[in-house]
Amino acid sequence: MIFEHPDRKTADMDEISADVLIVGGGMAAGWAAVAAAKTGAAVVVADKGFMGTSGVTATAGPNHWWVPPDAGRREAAVRKRLETAFGLADPTWMARIIDITWRSIPELEPWYPFSGDGQGGVYRSGLRGPEYLRALRHYATSLGVRILDHHPVLELLARPDGSIGGAAGHDRLADRPWRARAGAVILATGGCAFRSGLLGSYSNTGDGYLMGVEAGAELSGMEFCIAYSISPAWLSTRTLPYTGARFFDAAGRQLDTPGWDRPREYLCSLAAAFRSGPVYADLHEAPRELPGVIREIQPATVAAFERRGLDMFRDRFEVKLFGEGTIRGTGGLRIADACCATSVPGLFAAGDAATREHIAGATSGGGAQNAAWALSSGVLSGQAASSAAARRSHSDRQSRLLSMGGAGLHPTGAVRPVDRKAVVQTAQAEILDPDKALWRSEAKLSMSAKWLEDAWEDVCGSLRGEGLDAVAARETAAMAATARWCNAAALARKESRGMHIREDYPGQDTDWSRRLITGGLETVYTQREEAPVSELAL
């Protein structure tokens, strides 16, 4: 039974205590919980939604970077990805991530219905979202992890020395606030797609970035937030059916769209086509076997058409590009050591909430690396957070805790109504509009900075949500803040690299073979990482 009536919850719900508190309920959170619990730590997971359906993992079916433990093959896999990482990835991290992924997935055997791989073996590299998270939930629970669904975290709590010692949030089903004390906290809150409608991303509003920065953490790679997926105009689905699609304009003329082997040209050509009107997809040339199996592989994709009375393989349908922000973009909380710690003691980051530059560099890492990263950074942070908690003294664990949350909770000026929709629309327009994102320039980015600054001032100065409404207010604040950091980083990186293309700086510049740190609340700062990437290697 998954529903626990709020009235029947135990009275101690408001004061929760744990060695490791994990914020989030996707695959990074799940693997972090498992890893921490295996060390014997008392683990609590606080998810905004339901751990099993929330986040982008649940609606996806992630394929993991999957390389057997053969030295030659692993080296080749690392080399291949290094070639497309534009100098910002690190081979040592890559090798570790591959290894942790390979060793972890088989642990799900008791809870996940693994099936064949078509060659007489077991297929383990890809897992379907709902079953994957159901399995992780069971695995974590079997190890004693306590899961708090519908317990969005609103802010981090710090000890007087600045280290993180807990979090506070709102229990949305019982409509009451809660607080947790913890030895260490992991942010596994996913990326931010600015409510673009991207499948599964409604709750991924960048809360972890905002909470992290408020606590003193830094971000890295926020300029790498340019990723889109094509879907029917009315609903984002997974993209499997569309890789072979032909595209047409409103007059029925076929567009000369480049193939999926040229991702940027493909995207630019579609973005240009959308400027002159609606674009339609036609799947008559899809792989022949696809119509027979798609329903079993991705039931939700079929439902998106069937429930509109359409036959996806016969009827031409209007499409749209859905922005993916930092979800399939790469940026996130900066990692300061080899175990997913942020620069703030007691605070760790995993999955899309953390930067993925270590393994993906200036590219997305989509289609294998991302899931492997979410899994492995989860495992690493879970283990490290447990050790960090064990090192805390008894008096540390009892210490006074200070609220770190600002925007949306404690405005700097008088509380006034803020047009939240307009704020989110500004973030979407400035960061996701393909015309701005795919062809960046000083002029466009400076103009965006102005709009984003205005939106942030409004939010920071006047927005306040109370009770349940604090959740929505914080989401608005987090999206505004995230957009501001993405834009500032894009403005600062005066070169083109990977997915970040500047019209005014079209070449890649060796001076910029460094990661770019961003952060700050009142004013945003950007700063090049002091050491070039090779020297950052472990």
Summarize as ranges the residues that interact with ligand FAD (CB under 6 A). 23-29, 46-49, 54-57, 60, 62-63, 152-153, 188-190, 198-200, 203-204, 207, 238, 327-328, 351-353, 366-371, 374
User: Using CB under 8 A, which of the segments 97-105, 159-167, 251-259, 400-408 binds another protein?
Assistant: 251-259
Binding mask 167-206 for another protein (x = CB under 8 A): -----xx-----------------------x-xxxxx---
CB of 336 to another protein, least distance (A): 31
Out of 250, 303, 422, 537, the residue judged to bind another protein by CB under 8 A: 303
By CB under 8 A, residue 210 contacts another protein: no
Among 24, 52, 87, 216, binds another protein (CB under 8 A): 52
Instruction: Give the x-and-dash track for 253-292 against another protein (CB under 8 A).
Output: ---xxxxxxx---x------------------xxx-xx--
Write the DSSP string, 353-380: GB--HHHHTTS--TTTHHHHHHHHHHHH
Residue type at 177 in one-letter notation: P
Applying the rule CB under 8 A, the residues between 6 and 35 that interact with another protein are 6
Q: How far apart are CA 453 and CA 521, in angstroms?
A: 11
Choose, by CB under 8 A, the member of 13, 17, 50, 449 that binds another protein.
Answer: 50
Q: 288 in helix, strand or coil?
A: coil
- C-alpha 396/C-alpha 372 separation (Å) is 34
- The answer for residues whose C-beta is within 8 angstroms of residue 23's C-beta and 6 or more apart is 29, 46, 153, 167, 185, 186, 187, 188, 189, 208, 211
The entry of another protein, ligand FAD, none that residue 352 binds, CB within 5 to 8 Å by partner kind: ligand FAD
Give the amino acid at 224: F
Contact flag: residue 314 with another protein (CB under 8 A): no
Q: Which does 439 bind (CB under 5 to 8 A by kind): ligand FAD, another protein, none?
A: none
Cα 118 to chain center, whole Å? 31
Pull the structure tokens for residue 129.
């979202």
Q: Where are the beta strands (DSSP E) in 196-336?
A: 219-220, 228-232, 246-249, 279-282, 317-323, 332-333
Site for another protein in 122-151 (CB under 8 A): 123, 125-126, 128, 130-131, 149-150
Count of residues that interact with another protein, criterion CB under 8 A? 74
CA 336, 341, 347, 350: dihedral to nearest 10 degrees?
Answer: 110
| Residue 240 binds to another protein (criterion: CB under 8 A) | yes
- Decide if residue 412 touches another protein (CB under 8 A): no
Contact 225, 327 (CB under 8 A): no
Backbone angles phi, psi at 288, to 5 degrees: -60, -35
Residue 56 binding target from ligand FAD, another protein, none, CB below 5 to 8 Å by type? ligand FAD
Looking only at residues 57 through 76 of this chain, which bind another protein when binding is defined by CB under 8 A? 58-59, 61, 63
114 near another protein, judged by CB under 8 A = yes
Expressed in angstroms, the distance from the first to the final Cα of the chain is 45
Q: Which is nearer to ligand FAD, 34 or 445 (CB)?
A: 34
As given in the structure block, the two tokens for residue 259 are 């193939």
C-alpha span between 39 and 293 (Å, rounded): 41
Partner from ligand FAD, another protein, none contacting 23, C-beta within 5 to 8 A by type: ligand FAD
Name the nearest CA neighbour of 510 among 528, 487, 488, 490: 528
One residue of 17, 138, 176, 244 binding another protein per CB under 8 A: 244
